[in-house]
Structure 1
Amino acid sequence: MKTADPELMRAMNRFSVLDSIRRHGPISRVEITERTELSPTTVSAITGSLLDDGLILTRHEGDIRSESVRGRPRVMLELNPAAARVVGAKIAANRMVFVVTDFCGSVLAALTLPIRIDRQPISVIADIVEDGVRRCVLDAGLALSEIHSICLGLPGVIEHRSGHIRSSPILRDANVDFAAEMSARLKTTTIVESDATAITLAHHWFGQARDLEDMVLVSLEQTLGLGVLHNNRLFRGAGGLSHNLGDLVLGMSKDGVMRLASQAGENAILGSEQADGRFAEAVRLGRGMAHAQALIEADDSPLIGAAIRAGETIGFTIANIVTLFAPPRVIVVGSSLALGEPFLTSLRKAYALAIPPSLQDVSEIVFDDSNDDLWARGAAAVALYELYESPWNTTGPAL
């Protein structure tokens, strides 16, 4: 029988220890041992290495100078915020949002550029992204040379390992090697990630899933995305492929294959109204869903019907996801939540109808109107996640 790769096991154990310190620190070595189920010897060796690399700090609880405190002070471990700085970005059709964070994920600077980039040449988009990264780093009082990693979150089908964007609604080109392009421009390791994966990690680190090791996130933005977390780790497809939920097949129609995006995607919901001049302008400026919300509140029948249809298909889809993964929590985020009660009510009803009786009490569904800064912070968390997994030495990550 083939044994596990020792280097891989060491990397996994190291990540487990570092992530436990991130989630629960300040924390003692004994508590790390209990949470990770690693041996005290292994935890001691790993934490010693992390201290040598300057990734964690010690904090002493208790004071040996005080006569009222008996015994030696407890040595607690916590992340060193200054160990690394990263940049995360949410790249959308009509805006870019950048954040710079420290090693703990705390935001040092944020920048929003309300600029339309869809259908622009990839070279122009790369110019704008480069300028945004450089401006945000400068706002943080840093030099680009002090940034350890950058992560750009975009909608679409993205191959995480290679940095290839197979397809994206905000790019007119397909199969773009965007990670290599931006790494060369910025002279810093640049990761390209699905925005759905980024917001999934954001909720695990900072949001609605901080208490969980397993969860599923459904993103209802310009594309319909899926994020899966299992045992505190992101689950991706072959080659690190993101999950494009919009491509899920619902069945056949007279026109051929019917996919989820054709019923619940943004274009499917807004399509009936885009001939209207004001509505078309709102869509162009990225405010289509907000405008749709106002029309729904004014009893616009076609939009209400579209919202109900989209809610039903998303409800059935979530029921299928729960049937497959049985996560304790499903977090639903994205612009479609602006459709309000017609959408949400139909989603809940469809989910209740479709979920098997044996799984009715398994998953909690949470709706969260995550702001753009959280999406960008999630991209930064992806960059930190990679650093946590990377072997380090005293001069930095060995990427």
Structure 2
Amino acid sequence: MKTADPELMRAINRFNVLDTIRRHGPISRVEISERSELSTTTVSAITGALLDDGLILTRHEGDLRNAAARGRPRVMLELNPDAARVVGAKIAAHSMVFVVTNFCGEVLSQLILPIRVNRQSIAVIADLIEDGVRRCVVDAGLSLGDVDSICIGLPGVVEHRTGIVRSSPIFRETDVDFASEMTSRLNVPTILESDAHAIALAHHWFGKARDLDDMVLVSLEQTLGLGVLHHGQLFRGAGGLSHNLGDLVLGIGPKDIVRLSALAGESAILGDRPDGGGRLAEAMRLGRGMALAQTLIAAEDNTLIAAATSAGEAVGLAVANIVTLFGPPRVIIVGSSLSLGAVFLDSLREAYRRAIPSSIQTVAELVFDESADETWAQGAAVVALCELYESPWGTTGPAPAL
């Protein structure tokens, strides 16, 4: 019989203890054991090591000076916010957003750069990200030497484990080893993640899924992304692969298969206009396409209304398929497509209602949230923190990943 990898089990147990302290601290060791379902012996060993490494702090509940009080005060544990600093970044087609956070994920500084990024050379994009990281770190009153890890969130298909971007609308090239590029430039361990995974973790830590360990997030941006959380952990494919929801096949047409992106992607909604869409095309080029589309829909632009309705139907079917597969208690839908308004949302809800099997129609709650760009960047920082929570630490900080 195979036994579990002891290093993996230690990493999982360590993460569970730290995450329990983060979510419920100040908290006692007994309560950590109850919530994490780990033995008190295991919890005591892990928390002892965490205290030695300076990652958690003790707080005494009660007044030691009160001689009349019976018994010893309870020792409560909480995260040490100063134990680490990380940088999170969201890189979109028309902007970059950076945040610096402490060990608890609290934002210390943020920076928004409205820069057209997509289709620049790799070197130019790397230059822009490097400048943004350095500026945001300085704004936090720190230097890069004070930063333990950096996570860059990108749209597209990302291999988290290898740091390779298989494909992204941001890059001209495919299979870009971007993590190595940025690590060598910044001399700080840099990891990559899909922006959909980043925003899913942001909602799990701070947003609409704080009360859940299982949920699904669907992002409707320039690309269509998917984040699946199970037992508080992101589900990733081989090599830590992210999911490009836009590649989901919805049917077979007369000439080719029909993918979700062909019906619900930003270019599908905004790009197919008989008049060439000069005004809308310019707004899309500047990253303001959805905002203008909302105005045009309100003015009863029938072409856009039809496109938004069709997109809503397609997303509703996709969400119904996802709920059928995973049965999550909540599906959080985020992204710029929500700005299309009632035409899109009503169509999505109706398609979902018709497609979901009757046996599970009450299982999942649909939640819509127009998450701020800073929240996406904070989610990337959370990805970096999760890696630190699992890593063994020494006197000089986190050890390199195995």
Report the TM-score range of the alignment, normalised by the length of the smaller protein.
over 0.9
- The one-letter amino acid paired with 1:187 is N
Aligned residue for 2:76, secondary structure, equals strand
Aligned residue for 1:77, secondary structure, equals strand
Q: How many angstroms does 1:117 deviate by?
A: 1.2
- Give CA-to-partner distance per residue, 1:299-326, whole Å, 9 cap, x none: 1111011111000110111111000000
Higher mean alpha-carbon deviation, 30-39 vs 5-14, is at 5-14
C-alpha distance in structure 1 between counterparts of 2:119 and 2:169, whole Å: 9
CA contact (8 A) 1:64 1:71 kept: no
CA contact (8 A) 2:271 2:277 kept: no
C-alpha distance in structure 1 between counterparts of 2:288 and 2:372, whole Å: 14
C-alpha distance in structure 1 between counterparts of 2:233 and 2:392, whole Å: 17
- Give CA-to-partner distance per residue, 1:28-59, whole Å, 9 cap, x none: 10100000111111100000000000000011
Aligned residue for 1:48, secondary structure, equals helix
Map of 2:383 onto structure 1: 382
Equivalent residues in 2 for 1:334-353 (5 A)? 334-353=335-354
Higher mean alpha-carbon deviation, 70-79 vs 99-108, is at 70-79
- The one-letter amino acid paired with 1:377 is Q
Q: After the TM superposition, which parts of structure 1 deviate over 4 Å for at least 4 consecutive aligned residues?
A: none
Map of 1:91 onto structure 2: 91
CA contact (8 A) 2:271 2:281 kept: no
Q: Do residues 22 (structure 1) and 22 (structure 2) align?
A: yes
Equivalent residues in 2 for 1:124-203 (5 A)? 124-203=124-203
CA contact (8 A) 1:292 1:303 kept: yes
C-alpha distance in structure 1 between counterparts of 2:379 and 2:70, whole Å: 43
- The one-letter amino acid paired with 1:179 is A
C-alpha distance in structure 2 between counterparts of 1:382 and 1:64, whole Å: 39
Aligned residue for 2:173, secondary structure, equals coil
CA contact (8 A) 2:85 2:148 kept: yes
- Give CA-to-partner distance per residue, 1:269-314, whole Å, 9 cap, x none: 0012482322111101101001000101111111011111000110
TM-score, normalised via structure 1 length:
0.99
C-alpha distance in structure 1 between counterparts of 2:235 and 2:291, whole Å: 32
Equivalent residues in 2 for 1:2-81 (5 A)? 2-67=2-67, 69-81=69-81
- The one-letter amino acid paired with 1:281 is E
Equivalent residues in 2 for 1:273-288 (5 A)? 273=273, 275-288=276-289
Aligned residue for 1:272, secondary structure, equals coil
Q: How many angstroms does 1:250 deviate by?
A: 1.0
C-alpha distance in structure 1 between counterparts of 2:118 and 2:5, whole Å: 44
- Give CA-to-partner distance per residue, 1:67-115, whole Å, 9 cap, x none: 5633211111110000000000000011000000000000000001100
- Give CA-to-partner distance per residue, 1:203-226, whole Å, 9 cap, x none: 000100000010000000000000
Number of aligned residue pairs: give it: 399
Query: Which 5+ residue runs of structure 2 have no aligned equivalent?
Result: none
Aligned residue for 1:120, secondary structure, equals coil
Map of 1:301 onto structure 2: 302
C-alpha distance in structure 1 between counterparts of 2:255 and 2:81, whole Å: 55
Aligned residue for 1:327, secondary structure, equals coil
- Give CA-to-partner distance per residue, 1:178-219, whole Å, 9 cap, x none: 000000000000011100000000000010000001000000
Aligned residue for 2:226, secondary structure, equals strand
- The one-letter amino acid paired with 1:375 is W
Map of 1:328 onto structure 2: 329
CA contact (8 A) 1:86 1:383 kept: yes
Map of 2:357 onto structure 1: 356
C-alpha distance in structure 1 between counterparts of 2:168 and 2:197, whole Å: 15
Q: How many angstroms does 1:252 deviate by?
A: 1.0
Q: How many angstroms does 1:118 deviate by?
A: 1.1
Superposition RMSD in Å: 0.9
C-alpha distance in structure 1 between counterparts of 2:211 and 2:177, whole Å: 36
- The one-letter amino acid paired with 2:309 is I
- The one-letter amino acid paired with 1:351 is Y
C-alpha distance in structure 2 between counterparts of 1:206 and 1:213, whole Å: 13
Query: Which 5+ residue runs of structure 1 have no aligned equivalent?
Result: none
Q: How many angstroms does 1:119 deviate by?
A: 1.3
Map of 2:227 onto structure 1: 227
Aligned residue for 2:103, secondary structure, equals coil
Q: How many angstroms does 1:255 deviate by?
A: 2.3
C-alpha distance in structure 2 between counterparts of 1:255 and 1:338, whole Å: 32
C-alpha distance in structure 1 between counterparts of 2:99 and 2:270, whole Å: 31
Map of 1:315 onto structure 2: 316
C-alpha distance in structure 2 between counterparts of 1:12 and 1:279, whole Å: 49
- Give CA-to-partner distance per residue, 1:229-257, whole Å, 9 cap, x none: 00011100010000000000111112211
CA contact (8 A) 1:331 1:368 kept: yes
CA contact (8 A) 1:88 1:378 kept: yes
Higher mean alpha-carbon deviation, 41-50 vs 71-80, is at 71-80
CA contact (8 A) 1:216 1:327 kept: yes
C-alpha distance in structure 2 between counterparts of 1:208 and 1:174, whole Å: 34
CA contact (8 A) 1:151 1:190 kept: yes
Higher mean alpha-carbon deviation, 265-274 vs 231-240, is at 265-274
